[in-house]
Structure 1
Amino acid sequence: MFLQVFLFVIMASFSLAVSSLSETEVFGEVGSTAVLPCNTNSLSKYPHAVVWQKDGQGTVWKKLKSGLQYRGLLTHRAQCPHTQFERGNYSLWISDVREEDGGVYSCAVDGKGSTVVTLRIMKVTISPAVAVLESDFSASCLVTPGSSAARVQWKLNDKALLLRPRLSQTDTAHTSVVADRATERLAGRWTCAVTHQGKEWTASATLTIEGIIQPRDDGTRVYASEGSAVTLPCVFSAALSPGDTVWEKKELGSQYRAAPRRLLLASSSQSPADKSANLPEVLPEDGGTYRCSGMVNSQRLTRNMKLVVAKIESSGQSNRGRVGPVTLTCRLSDTSEVTGYDWVREVHSDDGVQSAGVIQRGKFLRVSNMSEAAWTCRYYGKEGILGNVTHHAPQMSGLSGQKPTEVSQNTGVIVGLSFLLIFLLLVLFKMYWNHQRRKKIFQYPALETIVHTVSNEREKQGKRRETK
């Protein structure tokens, strides 16, 4: 009994001095700083001898009771902060960790027992780090040395990745690989999260996607008012020089055909990566889906976008020559993104255009007197204003009491009369020209007869002289 009590006291006192043969696992990302813990319960202020070793390779760092220090395998990348010694903390700090730093380390204080720490190095590699849109890429997570007890989960931009990675293991490393085709949704920071013994350790790398950067997504809508100019964007990454750029428009039956000739490519003086196109004047029939494409590394990259045409329609009733109240309607060729409308009254004066603020909300506006004002319809989406379209008063001059002009009815009559007048003028000019020509030919007929007679008499006299 006495012997058992004596052994218990000896073991308890020894455990109070140094944590005996404790084992810990630490994960560190390549390039980061790893802290290998070594703690004792002894708070003595007397100098202690500390030795850190790596299994099979020798001493990493040690300090003698005299205060002398020795740096071994990791030279200046490994150290123990002296300020923590009085608290019983002899942890080893390794800066700029590398794959070869992984392994088993041991810490001994005054030669009494040791703390065993396994350092596992994590490294995330993306190949290629800069991928062309729709090309193949892979992301790998390597843990050295590996651990079969660790669980790996991938995150993309701090959100759990829905893809299920292919998992492979060896005796010296734990590797998780994700392979896919590069799309915009896969661009960003890839994080490998390793869970071990209730703790999570992470390492990250960034995947950059090169391709068409504007617009970023297929189906992006471009808004333009009828009659205005608009640019359909198609901008590639600055590092790319796309060739064989083609603009097409989607027709009925989901078929793409060459875009209208009015769609002009951007000036060649702009960046080679900018393949945007311009419409100088938007017509109602211009609305629809357009596709821009270009060749990059023997691969054709495409982007679809939709041009939405906005216009204001007016309707009113006439009564005995007078135009009554007018209803303005804000119409768009596609309203799938529109969440609201409002109307703004703009008055033109010598000082410029002045806005009266929001007058009414909604798609329709009833106006009793247009006067000289212009009405602007603004339409909104979830993220703010999408665009606007303006209806000017001169287009509705009959509403201000003026007599409406019937240009559309009289245009044919005026054109016909103009052609008839021109025809009559041409006939008169031809008759006058012929008359003048005859006058020049027969201006002196008597004089011509006299000259002819004199000439004949001279010939006769010449013949008589010869006979004599």
Structure 2
Amino acid sequence: MLLECFIFILITFLMRGVQCEVTEVFAEKGSLAVLPCKYSPTSSVSPAIFWVKANKGTVWMKQKSGVQLWGSSWLQKGFQRVRCPHTQFEKGDYSLQIISVTEEDGGVYSCRVDDGGIHAETMVLLRIITVSISPLVVMSGRDVSVTCTVTPGFNEVTAAQWFLNDSQFPRKTEIISPGETFKSLVKEKASARLTGKWTCVVGYRGKEGRASATLSVSGILQPPSDDTKVYAAVGSAATLPCVFSSGMIPSSPLWEKLQPGSLNKASPSRLPSSFSSSSLSSQLPWDKSAGLREVDFKDEGRYRCSGTVQGQRLVRNLQLVVAKIESSVLSKKKASVTLTCQLSDTSKVTEYEWVRVTYDLNGTQVFGSIHKGKTLSISQLSEESWGTWACRFSGKEGILGNITYHVPMMSGFSGQKSSGFSKNTAAVVGLSFLLLVLLLILAQMYKNHRRKQNIFQYPALEAIIHTISNEQEERERNRVKK
């Protein structure tokens, strides 16, 4: 291919008044390739444009009269695979566009612009980059290969970078280069972690090309890999996922608990009493997830899910990590309580946070200030300390889980609150006693008032009787004197 390019360049240098440029272009198979060709016309007359591929003849041309012609191999049942947009001609842009490029389209192209006796020549080397997967859909545990191909290849040793779901793939790859075709090969045992978009990036002489393909792995999709950790709080319900590929119904599904420190040996002890492996009515036939109705700290450990598909036994191990909160009283006088967040496995935990959880009028959770650390000390419990506290534990991938602890509203936990309660009680009792005394006094005063009213019920009649009695006594004294 480079020899062809050299011949083109040699010919153009022998031509009088010729300007020559060499440009490399990468294009992904099936995409739109744009081969650049720019020239600033010196006259008002529309120039003639000729696009030619080495050893393939004319690709597309436009004469000065405006007549366009296409090469026979670029016309497929009336569909024109190449075009040169006229809207860009006024800007001096005569770039060629190739629709849905194939590996056969790779090679050396020449663009010649004839403008009033001045000839401008541009050489373009088009490389087609392709990513292929074999087989396209593979069963978990079987061999799969991902290949990156660049046509034409390079005369120098060139490396390729691989990315899986936009993250660089760290494994070593096999490179077949130099040659007519460049190849970079990845071979792996298929697993769910390989599922997704594979992207190959190749750089050469300042240019970069990339292509992608999607790999689908059938088998156990959830959890995506062995030793996936599932976090649960003591007393809560937990789900142990085991989901096969859609439409793949396993036979003889089985759940086991593994012995501590063992990768393969199942524990002789029975599964937890709250463990349930029976599929719910809402679950799909390929969902063999299990659950624990109420997690206990002793339920922590490694579990295994397995099932047979197409004669192959598929197995996935996962680990249940259990969290709990322990409380301890440091000082009874100061009523200081320490809460400690404990996990059965802390290998993935990088940070602990404590937050107080409250609820607004709409019932929405509201989180208070954050306290860092594995332990939380609450000294002299006050109203701000009562209620629910949550311990959140996080790792490199974000929050892993949380567990809550409820601090009850009890006076015995707080000397300050107990003292306040006693003072309030004494005040209430004193006020009640004074009120009772006042009521008794008022009752006695009212009783005396009523007694007086009963004694002097007819005051006018008593006055008349008293006057008559006095007059009779006066007449009796006068009679005696006579």
Give per-residue Cα distances to partners, 1:112-149, cap 9 Å, x unaligned.
57544332322111122333333211111222233323
- Find the aligned partners of 1:30 and 1:316 in 2 and give their Cα distance: 70
Cα distance 1:263–1:70, how it changes in 2: closer, same or farther (>3 A)? same
Matched, 1:305 2:319: yes
1:225 partner letter: A
Task: Look up the match of 1:386.
Answer: 401
Q: Counterpart in 2 of 1:234?
A: 242
2:19 aligned with 1:19: yes
Q: CA deviation at 1:380?
A: 2.5
Name which of 189, 193, 196 aligns with 1:188: 196
Determine the C-alpha separation between the residues in 2 that align with 1:31 and 1:400. Answer: 74
Q: What SS does the corresponding residue of 2:19 show, helix, strand or coil? A: coil
Aligned counterparts of 2:332 and 2:48: Cα–Cα separation in 1: 106
Aligned to 2:183, which of 175, 194, 198? 175
Is structure 2 residue 309 aligned with structure 1 residue 296? yes
Distance 1:346 1:90 in 2: 68
Structure 1 residues 216, 69: closer, same or farther in 2, change over 3 A?
A: same
Mark the CA change 1:376 to 1:312 in structure 2 (over 3 Å): closer, same or farther: farther
Matching residue of 2:214: 206
Match of 1:151, SS state, is coil
Secondary structure at the residue paired with 1:85?
Answer: helix
Amino acid at match of 2:36: P
Match of 1:44 in 2: 43
Match of 1:280 in 2: 293
3-state SS of paired residue (2:208):
strand
The aligned residue for residue 81 of structure 1 is 85
Normalising by structure 2, report the TM-score: 0.66
- Aligned mate of 1:249, from 242, 257, 278: 257
Tell me which amino acid in the other structure corresponds to 1:384.
I
- Partner of 1:142, secondary structure, is strand
Code of the residue aligned with 2:266 in structure 1: it is: Y
Counterparts in 2 of 1:242 and 1:343: CA distance versus 1, 3 Å = same
Residues 230 and 319, structure 2, Cα contact 8 Å, conserved in 1: yes
Question: Could you tell me whether the CA contact under 8 Å between 2:85 and 2:94 is conserved in 1?
Answer: yes
Partners of 2:297 and 2:322 within 8 A in 1: no
1:334 to 342, 345, 349: 345
| Cross-structure match for 1:64 | 63
- Report SS of the residue matched to 1:19: strand
CA distance in 2, matches of 1:159, 1:221: 22
Give the 3 Å change call, closer, same or farther, for CA 341–29 of structure 1 in structure 2: closer
Q: Please, which of 101, 120, 131 is the counterpart of residue 105 of structure 2?
A: 101
Relative to structure 1, the CA distance from residue 197 to residue 128 in structure 2 (aligned partners, 3 Å threshold; closer, same or farther) is: same
Q: Which residue pairs with 2:277 in the alignment?
A: 265
Quickly say closer, same or farther: Cα 1:317–1:65, change in 2 above 3 A: closer
Q: 2:170 aligns with which of 162, 165, 177?
A: 162
Query: What secondary structure, in the 3-state scheme, does the structure 2 residue paired with 1:344 have?
Result: strand
Q: 1:90 aligns with which of 62, 87, 94?
A: 94
Would you say the 8 A contact 1:43–1:86 is kept in 2? no
Match of 2:233 in 1: 225
> What is the count of residue pairs matched by the alignment?
382
In 2, the alpha carbon distance for the partners of 1:355 and 1:262 equals 32
Report the CA distance between 1:166 and its aligned residue.
2.0
CA distance in 2, matches of 1:44, 1:115: 20
- What amino acid is aligned across from residue 390 of structure 1 in structure 2? Y
CA contact (8 A) 1:19 1:40 kept: no
Letter of the aligned partner of 1:105 in structure 2?
Y
Unaligned runs of 5+ residues in structure 1 are: 1-10, 402-468
Q: 1:354 to 1:272 in 2, by over 3 A?
A: closer
Q: CA deviation at 1:93?
A: 1.6
Query: Is the contact made by 1:154 and 1:190 (CA closer than 8 Å) also made in structure 2?
Result: no
2:138 matched residue in structure 1: 131
Shift of 1:46: 1.0
Query: CA shift at 1:63, angstroms?
Result: 1.3
Equivalent residue letter for 1:35: V
| Distance apart, 1:391 and its partner CA | 4.1
Instruction: List runs of 5+ in structure 2 lacking aligned partners.
Output: 1-12, 416-482
CA apart distance, 1:266 = 4.2
Letter in 2 for 1:140: T
Change in 2 beyond 3 A, CA 1:141/1:57: same
User: Is residue 200–residue 211 contact of structure 2 (8 Å, CA) maintained in 1?
Assistant: yes
Cα RMSD, aligned residues only: 4.0
Q: Any idea what SS the aligned residue of 1:100 has?
A: helix
Deviation of the 1:153 alpha carbon: 0.6
C-alpha distance in 2, partners of 1:361/1:26? 54
The offset of 1:30, in angstroms, is 1.0
- The structure-2 alpha-carbon separation of the partners of 1:223 and 1:172, relative to structure 1 and needing over 3 Å to count, comes to closer
Whole-Å separation in 2 of the counterparts to 1:89 and 1:357: 62
The whole-number CA distance in structure 2 between the counterparts of 1:334 and 1:98 is: 53
2-structure distance, mates of 1:182, 1:343: 42
Shift of 1:273: 2.4
Q: Corresponding residue for 1:454? A: none
Distance 1:397 1:108, change over 3 A: closer
How far apart are the structure 2 equivalents of 1:357 and 1:25?
A: 59
Aligned to 1:419: none
> Which shows bigger deviation, 53-62 or 90-99?
53-62
Alpha-carbon distance between aligned partners in 2 of 1:49 and 1:226, rounded to the nearest angstrom: 81
Q: CA deviation at 1:353?
A: 11
Change (3 A) 1:87 1:345: closer
Structure-2 change in CA distance of 1:310 and 1:81 (3 Å): same
SS at match of 1:291: strand
Q: Structure 2 CA distance, aligned partners of 1:115 and 1:29?
A: 22
Q: Partner amino acid for 1:197?
A: R
In structure 2, what is the Cα distance between the partners aligned to 1:248 and 1:397?
48
TM-score (norm 1): 0.68
Shift of 1:302: 0.8
Residue by residue over 1:401-446, the C-alpha shift from the partner in whole angstroms, topping out at 9 and shown as x without a partner, is: 9xxxxxxxxxxxxxxxxxxxxxxxxxxxxxxxxxxxxxxxxxxxxx
Per-residue displacement from partner, 1:357-383 (whole Å, max 9, x unpaired)? 469765244566799965434232142
Residues 191, 225 of structure 2: 8 Å contact kept: no
Corresponding residue SS for 1:124? strand
Give the distance between the partners of 2:193 and 2:284, measured in 1 at CA: 26
Instruction: Report if the CA contact (8 A) 2:253-2:288 is conserved.
Output: yes
Per the TM alignment, residue 289 of structure 1 is displaced from its structure 2 partner at its CA by 2.3
